[in-house]
Amino acid sequence: MEHSSYSTLWIGFASVVGVWLVTVVTPGPNFLAAAHAALAQSRRAGLLVSLGIMIGTFLWAAVSLAGLGLLFQNAQWLYHLIRIAGAIYLVVVGIRMMAARSAPASPGQVPSGPGIGFRALRRGLLTDLSNPKAAAFFTSLFAVAVPPSAPFWYDALIVSTVVVMAGGWYAIVAVTVTMPRIARAYAKAERAILRVAGAVFIGFGIKLAAER
């Protein structure tokens, strides 16, 4: 491969990293899911939610690179079906948050078993997969950054990078919010925080359902 081609690849790679970094750190359902699991259940639960988000990010990025965005354009019914299902999921999660009882007094130290761990992993995965706009986002981003002639190692590097960035950020969130000072502050205002977080989830769900 010529030097100019390599330069094009690395410029595209830097563009993906920059755009994705801004996207990931912007608070949204994934952020709330990781933080809520860590605070209301345990740090381990928050990290498992982060792992679920990583898996969801991998799926969206990989299938977008394979042409899912184009499939959604040609099969609008499939896009709308996933969009409505995702919206319903976010609204249900929001309602459950608002109706949840208070957690034990020491967030981040709640015992967790295999069932709780699986539910946390599933929560992260489903929260990330609830937004089919991710396919359009990745498709647009990759269309600019990944030339059709790009080698397989470059495709793998791009997908791996966005996955690690997502998982790493939400893992940092899960660890940070369970630090003693933050955990104590959460315990004092848990009901209000849950209501606000639940309302935000419901808002995201309604917004997703209303979009075309």
List pLDDT tens digits, range 127-150: 999 887 787 788 778 777 777 778
**Averaged pLDDT, 36-64:** 92
Strand (E) or helix (H) holding 173: helix 152-177
Compute the distance between CA of residue 29 and CA of residue 178 in angstroms, rounded to an integer: 18
Average pLDDT across the chain, whole number: 82
Q: Where are the domains of the chain?
A: 28-210
Task: Band the pLDDT of 212: cuts 50, 70, 90.
Answer: low
List pLDDT tens digits, range 165-206: 999 999 999 999 999 888 787 777 777 877 888 888 888 888
List pLDDT tens digits, range 18-27: 889 988 988 8
Nearest to 33 by CA among 14, 52, 57, 18: 52
Joined together, the tokens standing for residue 12 give: 């595209």
